[in-house]
């Protein structure tokens, strides 16, 4: 939600997914994942991701310095200490309930929004809490919300490859018109940050190299959105 607003806006025109073949309005629902299995060596990154999300919400919603003002009890706060602060209970529900693995759905939403906006492709992208994803439930969800597609994620987990963690995510795409899955594919992403890339179009995929888990998620969004975009463009 917040990270994308800060990063994508200046450079999104440099993206090149191709020109959509149709300008028929579409609506896409993106379901938040409900869990992720993460190697114990990455556990400290969980707090880093969730605290950064909270800080960026404050920066966008309340201005620079607002976070430090409301959470001034500790220079280096832990997530647990922040959740005990009175200010935390006054936050919007979606901010309080943010989990580190929601970064996948949240960042995907921003990617699709700016992509379709850049291409002047009328669309509505909605991020929603996770629901059942059997075909009958997906049909009911799509019909209830008048959505054309539903994107969801499952089997999110890390594995070690050559002593380094990689993230495997299965992305699924449901079509309400065809009442079936158009995609149910696993991708594997590394934690290499593109922050040092000289190519401006890579800036949106940059991450904090000191927060390995964040880089894994950002890179997985890149692979996932490319899969879905390729199908939507050719569908």
| Amino acid 20: pLDDT | 44
- In angstroms, the CA 99 to CA 195 distance is 24
- In angstroms, the CA 209 to CA 154 distance is 25
Task: Describe the strand order of the beta sheet including 180-189 as a list of residue ranges.
Answer: 123-128, 26-31, 149-161, 164-175, 180-189
| Amino acid 199: pLDDT | 56
| Amino acid 198: pLDDT | 53
3 state DSSP class of 115: helix
pLDDT at 221 over 60: yes
- In angstroms, the CA 193 to CA 210 distance is 9
3 state DSSP class of 15: coil
Token pair listed for 142? 């799509």
Q: What percent of the chain is modeled with pLDDT above 90?
A: 52
Confidence of residue 197 (pLDDT cuts 50, 70, 90): low
Mean pLDDT rounded to a whole number for the chain: 83
Q: Domain ranges for the chain, please list them.
A: 2-234
pLDDT at 102 over 70: yes
**pLDDT per position as a tens digit, 111-157:** 998 787 776 667 899 999 999 999 999 999 999 999 999 999 999 99
* Residue corresponding to tokens 């209830």: 144
Instruction: Specify whether the CB–CB gap between 20 and 119 falls below 8 A.
Output: yes
Confidence of residue 76 (pLDDT cuts 50, 70, 90): low
| Amino acid 59: pLDDT | 81
pLDDT at 194 over 80: no
């Amino acid at each position: 939600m917040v990270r994308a607003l800060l990063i994508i806006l200046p450079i999104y025109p440099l993206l090149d997914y191709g020109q959509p073949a149709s300008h028929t309005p579409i609506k896409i629902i993106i379901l938040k994942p409900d869990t992720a299995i993460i190697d114990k060596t990455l556990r400290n990154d969980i707090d880093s991701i969730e605290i950064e999300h909270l800080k960026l919400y404050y920066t966008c919603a309340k201005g620079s310095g607002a976070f430090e003002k409301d959470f001034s009890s500790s220079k280096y706060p832990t997530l647990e200490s922040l959740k005990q602060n009175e200010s935390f209970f006054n936050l919007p529900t979606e901010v309080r309930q943010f989990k580190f693995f929601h970064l996948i759905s949240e960042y995907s939403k921003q990617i699709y929004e700016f992509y379709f906006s850049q291409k002047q492709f009328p669309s509505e992208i909605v991020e929603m809490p996770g629901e059942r994803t059997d075909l009958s439930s997906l049909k009911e969800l799509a019909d209830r919300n008048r959505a054309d597609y539903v994107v969801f994620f499952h089997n999110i987990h890390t594995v070690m490859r050559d002593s380094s963690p990689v993230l495997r995510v299965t992305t699924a795409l449901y079509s309400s018109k065809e009442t079936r899955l158009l995609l149910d594919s696993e991708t594997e992403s590394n934690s290499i940050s593109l922050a040092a890339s000289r190519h401006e179009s890579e800036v949106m995929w940059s991450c904090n190299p000191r927060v390995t888990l964040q880089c894994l998620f950002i890179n997985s969004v890149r692979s996932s959105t490319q899969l879905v975009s390729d199908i939507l463009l050719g569908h």
